Structure 1
Amino acid sequence: MDRTTETAPPAEPGRPAAAAEPAAPADVATGTVRRKRRRILLPLVLAAAVGGSAALGATRPWEGGSSAPGQPPLGHGTVAVERGSLSSGIQVAGALAYDALTPVVASGRGTFTALPAVGSVVKAGGRLYEVDGVPVVLMTGKRPLWRDLGPGVEDGPDVRQLKRNLVALGHADGLGLAVDEKFTAGTAVAVKRWQKALGVKQTGRVALGSVVMVPQPAVRVHQVGVRLGAPVGETTALTVSDTGLVAVVQPADNQLSRFRPDGRVEVRLSEGGTVQGRIRSLIRGGGGDGDGGADGSEGGRQKTVVTIVLDDQRAARRAGPSSVTVDVVGDTATDALVVPVTALLALDGGGYGVNVVTGTTTRLVKVRLGLVADARAQITGDVKSGDRVVIPT
């Protein structure tokens, strides 16, 4: 609301003088009376990732109240300008978890006669579980087997996948076996060598259900979903994972802009110490916690799951699946003059200022705004470290 200063009209003879209207409050910065005064809202909304967004709102600190000369007005105090560092980095709670949970569906027929222990690690070529006393072997590949493989089968990518494993495991040495889609006589020889090493009947054929294909060259058994003696069926027998640990976080929506694919972060372990990491993926509603069942939802709303690969697996394995804090480094200002954002004033004509206490008066100083984070602002201008500026209390 505009305020004006008016002078009472002279009293008529024989009548008492009318009381004068109270004068407008003096401007502490200049010691003069202003004719018009507007309360000014600081028009600055800062998008910050941790702790939410910071909104800066202030009115001129000398309005609304009176005090002794040289003192902040009622409802206000002062704070010293500090010199230090300011960072817009964020911290998000997360967890270490085993990566790439993969269900293993047992195919074929028979009865489970041996199962792995949770936490055991099986490498390509190793025995994953047993059906009717015969080992089921882990091999590397993205395509599950869907038929018996042997002499006379049609060419196909499943044959190529099998031959690649036979070569990698050393069962094709000296055979000159080409890794292609043809099941040749040399392929049958390599299969017999593999069967001999397993201690099973050497047929030269690979029966459906005798091999499990997974993308990883080695897996850790995360969960066993069947019991000994159960019949083989179309069910998830096991859940396996990579042997390495990753950090998984679910940032809030206003924090997502800080997480960039291939961006570098620091992971603080619950037992102490830190591990450097790289952001591998951001998946809306993706799973990734240590239980293998996270759907990334919160209150019916899917959240984004961020997966971070770690540079040092030894430190991660010592910690094991556990809680972590992920630090995402943002912009940093060092050796900066810093004030609370509540000290900033929107100036007529644009820009910002601070009200600096000088002796028994205050003066309005225009400043340039730098980095703003955690409700603090970097400023430059005619101020120095130790100066006291006015803030609302």
Structure 2
Amino acid sequence: MRGRAMADRDTRDSRDVLAESEQAGTEGDTERRAHPRRRLAIGIVAVAVLAVLGGGAAVVVPALAQPPAEESAPRVHTATGVVSRGDIAEQVRTGGKLGYGNSRALGSALPGTVTSVPAVGTVIGRGEELFRIDDQPVVLLFGALPAWRGFEAGMSNGRDVRQLEENLRDLGFFQREPDEEFTWWTAEAIRNWQKARGLPRTGELPLGSFMFGPAAVRVKSVDTGPGSPSGGAVLTVTDTGKQITIDLDADLASVAAKDTKVQASLPDGTIIDATVTSVGAPSEKEGEDGKKTMKVPLVLTPDDPAAGGDVIDVTVSASFTRILATGVLRVPVLALLAGPDGTTQVEVVDGKKSRLVTITTGTFGDGLVEVVKVVDGKLDEGDEVVVAQ
């Protein structure tokens, strides 16, 4: 968003500027005085600040300029800034939530009674116990193919057999090349694994005694406690890595392409560096005010997995950078002066003297403004201009 409103300079200040310029000579040079010239306060939104609302919505909040200086007001302190060439950008801030991603429920097809469950926050890896039914463990194995049948001698070939053998190999119990055939070697690997876990050495795995999943899981909640019948969801689990989820206004989607670097701020002020890892399709969502707007779902992954420590399920403020103009001549917004007849000027420093240059401005952002055209005078990259402090 670009704020471009400039407060009008009072008539007396305009006459002062013109009088000083004429007194300096035909070249417009004026000797720089020990005290700074009176400068006009600029009512410009130098940076579009997006305020965070619930659900990731954002609104533009204009930055407030100082009121015009009165004749009797204290003098304006000045410094210098540099004319540069580069991009004009603005910061887009929106709300999100830090948590563990991909929440889902886990249960078992085994009939019986739930006899043991893990504590919330437990991380369960390959070959480890999820919970127990009739005191028999239900274990987690890795793989993309869901479990749809048990494993036993004489079963037909299939990709699930290869997936099982890959797990047995990675657990250290299968020494051959995994394939899709259930052989004596497969049964023997199961028996050795069962022995290592203190279980009966059957060489078989009935459906419901194991689950396939893509990776380790973290227990988010226990949905069925010990003593309850099995059959429904026993645990709710998530991935083990933290992520930030955001529903971004669709008209701001250009700031959040995949692999974009983002900074997120926790409630205690901690800054987390993150990367956009997923950009979903726009969809209509209802806000707190009951109105429906188009949102783009984003997933951000912290660059440091340990970022935020134990803080979880909290609202964060994410900051994106949007490029508004590329490779343009730029001056600090606080260098702008109101010139005669509604023109805009900057005061360029030439050694101990200074001169006024009339310009046409373009895009505003991040405390800088684009110089579209130099109307009167000369302005180059590297020049120093007077700025208000």
Category of TM-score, reference length = shorter chain: 0.5 to 0.7
How many percent identity over aligned positions? 29
CA-to-aligned-CA distance 1:345-382 (integer Å, 9 cap, x gap): 9x9xxxx952789xxxxxx9752435422797333634
Who is 1:194 aligned against?
Answer: 193
Do 2:223 and 2:235's aligned partners in 1 also have CA atoms closer than 8 Å? yes
CA-to-aligned-CA distance 1:236-287 (integer Å, 9 cap, x gap): 322211211112222222322100011111223333442322100122479x
| Other structure's SS at 1:250 match | strand
Do 2:81 and 2:387's aligned partners in 1 also have CA atoms closer than 8 Å? no
Residues 323 and 186 of structure 1: is their aligned pair in 2 closer, same or farther, counting only changes over 3 Å? same
Q: State the superposition RMSD in angstroms.
A: 4.2
Residues 368 and 244 of structure 1: is their aligned pair in 2 closer, same or farther, counting only changes over 3 Å? same
Q: Show the 5 A alignment for 1:40-59.
A: 50=50
- Structure 1 gap segments, 5+ residues each: 1-27, 31-47, 56-70, 72-77, 287-294, 358-363, 389-393
Q: Distance in 2 between matches of 1:53 and 1:275?
A: 24
Residues 279 and 387 of structure 1: is their aligned pair in 2 closer, same or farther, counting only changes over 3 Å? closer
Q: Distance in 1 between matches of 2:322 and 2:364?
A: 11
- Structure 2 gap segments, 5+ residues each: 1-14, 19-47, 52-58, 63-69, 71-75, 348-355
Do 2:279 and 2:298's aligned partners in 1 also have CA atoms closer than 8 Å? yes
Do 1:49 and 1:256's aligned partners in 2 also have CA atoms closer than 8 Å? no
Q: Show the 5 A alignment for 1:197-208.
A: 197-208=196-207
Q: Give the counterpart letter for 2:263 in structure 1.
A: E
Do 2:126 and 2:141's aligned partners in 1 also have CA atoms closer than 8 Å? yes
The equivalent position to 1:313 in structure 2, one of 292, 305, 311, is 305
- Pick the structure with more strand per residue: 2
Q: Distance in 2 between matches of 1:319 and 1:387?
A: 42
Do 2:94 and 2:319's aligned partners in 1 also have CA atoms closer than 8 Å? yes
| Other structure's SS at 2:230 match | coil
Do residues 260 (structure 1) and 260 (structure 2) align?
no
Who is 2:369 aligned against?
Answer: 377
Do 1:54 and 1:375's aligned partners in 2 also have CA atoms closer than 8 Å? no
Who is 1:283 aligned against?
Answer: 280
Do 2:346 and 2:359's aligned partners in 1 also have CA atoms closer than 8 Å? no
Do 1:127 and 1:136's aligned partners in 2 also have CA atoms closer than 8 Å? yes
CA-to-aligned-CA distance 1:147-181 (integer Å, 9 cap, x gap): 121110001111111111101111114xx2x2111
Q: Structure 1 length normalisation: TM-score?
A: 0.65
Residues 54 and 153 of structure 1: is their aligned pair in 2 closer, same or farther, counting only changes over 3 Å? same
| Other structure's SS at 1:319 match | coil
Q: Distance in 2 between matches of 1:296 and 1:221?
A: 29
- Structure whose CA Rg is larger: 1
Q: Distance in 1 between matches of 2:93 and 2:80?
A: 24
Who is 1:246 aligned against?
Answer: 243
| Other structure's SS at 2:205 match | coil
Do 2:249 and 2:295's aligned partners in 1 also have CA atoms closer than 8 Å? yes
Q: Distance in 1 between matches of 2:311 and 2:208?
A: 37
| Other structure's SS at 1:92 match | strand
Do 1:94 and 1:250's aligned partners in 2 also have CA atoms closer than 8 Å? yes
Residues 312 and 256 of structure 1: is their aligned pair in 2 closer, same or farther, counting only changes over 3 Å? same
* TM-superposed deviation, 1:94: 1.8
Do 1:279 and 1:307's aligned partners in 2 also have CA atoms closer than 8 Å? yes
Who is 1:169 aligned against?
Answer: 171
Q: Distance in 2 between matches of 1:194 and 1:203?
A: 10
Do 1:112 and 1:231's aligned partners in 2 also have CA atoms closer than 8 Å? yes
| Other structure's SS at 1:89 match | strand
Count of equivalent residues: 305
Q: Structure 2 length normalisation: TM-score?
A: 0.65
The equivalent position to 2:227 in structure 1, one of 221, 224, 229, is 229
